[in-house]
Amino acid sequence: MQKVRLIRIIGDENIMVRSVCFDSRKVEPGDLFIAVRGTQSDGHDFISQAITNGANSIVCQQIQDHLTDTGVTIVRVTDSSEALGVIASNFYDNPSQEIHLIGVTGTNGKTTCVTLLHDMFTHLGYCCGLLSTIRNIIAGEEIAATHTTPDPVQINRLLRELADKGGSYCFMEVSSHAITQQRIAGLKFAGGVFTNITHDHLDYHKTFREYLDAKKKFFDQLPASAFALINSDDRNSRFMVQNTKARIYTYALRSPADFKGRVMENLFEGLQLSLNGQDLFCRLTGEFNAYNLSAVYATAVLTGQDSGRVMTLLSALPPVEGRFETLHSVDNITGIIDYAHTPDALKNVLATIGDLRTRNENLITVIGAGGDRDKDKRPVMAKICAEKSDLLILTSDNPRSEDPEAIIREMHTGIEADHQRKVMSIPDRKEAIRTACHLAKPGDIILIAGKGHEKYQDIKGIKYPFDDKKILKEMLILTNHKPE
């Protein structure tokens, strides 16, 4: 438990608090409660409950008349979400100023980049942190991740723990939701990386321009002491940094760049890659991973690491869990587990498989679409998969509050008439994977896309245990295929 301490809230405002909290149910005597307006509820509706639970001070955007005589300190701010970030940073003594915090944003590639960077810098001998979709790691200790980017209190608590343990670097995924919701307010970044931007999260941002602006805001807020590394092959990369104060650097495979990558050979076993004229073999597959590796290499060099040592470590790093993970049966059936759940990510994965296959085998794809999320991408995803697969099985992803069969029907609308004959609908995801395995013949490829590293399936608000990779292995065994 935190001791009572004097902290700066905003400007020159100081107050004694035990802890910072934005969930009224968790407030204890002596806490500072910040009323944040969210997408599902408004913290201002719970100010009275927070006071009843013992909050000694409130930060809010609107002061309700009946609260003026409660005897607690009330501070009114323009944006309580931003105030939460700043206050959380102050409460934990601004840990992001004591370490090198590197943020990675973009539609695809964030998890791979931050995970590879964390693993590389750990091998370089640094005490590191990782804040990602898959997991949070602080100085070697793993902590479960529930969001791509945690809330401001959790971020600063984790960064303070890392700084106190002698941490030097932390690599963090920065989602568009986190930027818009001010979850990174108050943090000092030493660098920012832009991977790419494509159709995603339009259920939240409403328009692609709003999505672009959210990502751009991250670079707008970088200090002059930071670097901004962008993928110059992405047509929106220059827009991202047009107002940044940070030093701008580029990486690319096709266009001129400060850090130029080139794919020499692409195999299921990995990539033969050239980075700034130096050749290396990496254990990751596909052109999309060539971009990720180029970004990782550039980031390491920009932080002052020796390029030769970075090259050596890059060649040894394993693939990231749920990102084009492959397994093989004794009779040469290849299974691929990938997190791809956007049109662009599916294009990349299917293009990689297309480059690697001989065309003498069948590609069986199993894919669903998440419920309560961007509906516009559902038919687009199905269309892409139908065009690039020999057999497509439409199934559930995380249906959440929606009817899985209704989601599948929406996906079906994107499939052209001449591809309908090779499409099956099996709402039960486990049965869909089982069917793919039964239909696969020696030499065939099975792609299970959409969930990757996830170990659950979200149905009607309940997360049931579900692991694509585990189930694929079991089914291959059940059909007399033995994974390596």
Q: How far, CA to CA in Å, does 247 sit from each of 76, 79, 124, 185, 233?
A: 36, 29, 25, 20, 18
Cβ neighbours for 450, distance < 8 A, ≥ 6 positions apart: 339, 340, 341, 367, 368, 369, 370, 397
Rounded Cα gap, residues 353 and 445, in angstroms: 9
Q: Would you state the structure tokens that stand for residue 115, as one six-digit string?
A: 């995970």
- Other C-beta atoms closer than 10 Å to the C-beta of 441 total 11
Angle at CA of residue 240, ends 263 and 311, nearest 5°:
30
pTM of the model: 0.88
Q: 384, 443 in Cβ contact below 8 A?
A: no
Q: Please, which residues have CB within 8 angstroms of residue 454's CB and are 6 or more apart in sequence? A: 322, 339, 398, 466, 467, 468
Give me the pLDDT at residue 144, please: 73
CB burial string 297-334: b at 16+ within 10 A, e below: bbbbbbbebeeeebbebbbebebbebbbbebebeeebb
CB-based contacts of 3-6 (< 8 A; 24+ apart in sequence): 4/30, 5/91
Radius of gyration of the chain (CA): 24
Query: Smallest Cα–Cα separation from 432: which of 365, 360, 372?
Result: 365
Contacts 24+ apart (CB under 8 A), 137-146: 138/162, 138/165, 138/167, 139/165, 139/166, 139/167
403 Cβ neighbours under 8 A, 6+ residues apart: none
Q: How far apart are CA 454 and CA 468, in angstroms?
A: 8
Domains of the chain: 5-81 (3.40.1390.10), 92-316 (3.40.1190.10), 325-478 (3.90.190.20)
Strand partners, 459: 400, 462
Question: Which tokens sit at 365?
Answer: 């794809």
* pLDDT given for residue 63 in this prediction: 83
Quote the tokens at residue 227.
Answer: 């670097």
Please state, in angstroms and rounded to a whole number, the distance separating the CA atoms of residues 194 and 251. 10
Tokens 């939240």 identify what position?
204
CA distance 323 to 335: 12
Residue 482 has what pLDDT?
A: 44
| Side chain identity, residue 56 | N
Which one, of 254, 311, 256, lies nearest residue 278 by Cα?
311
Q: Are 88 and 70 in contact (CB under 8 A)?
A: no
> Per-residue confidence of the chain (484 residues) as pLDDT tens digits?
344 555 666 555 677 788 888 888 899 999 999 999 887 789 999 999 999 999 989 999 988 776 767 788 888 999 999 999 999 999 999 999 999 999 999 999 999 999 999 999 999 999 999 999 888 999 999 987 766 568 999 999 999 999 999 999 999 999 988 899 999 999 999 999 999 998 654 555 468 888 899 899 999 999 999 999 999 999 999 999 999 999 999 999 999 999 999 999 999 889 999 999 999 999 999 999 999 999 999 999 999 999 999 999 999 999 999 999 998 888 889 999 999 999 989 999 999 999 999 999 999 999 999 999 989 999 999 999 999 999 999 999 999 999 999 999 999 999 999 999 999 999 999 999 999 999 999 999 999 999 999 999 999 999 999 999 999 999 886 555 444 4
Beta strands 462-465 and 456-459 are antiparallel
In whole angstroms, give the CA distance from residue 12 to residue 2: 22
Residue-level pLDDT at 1:
34
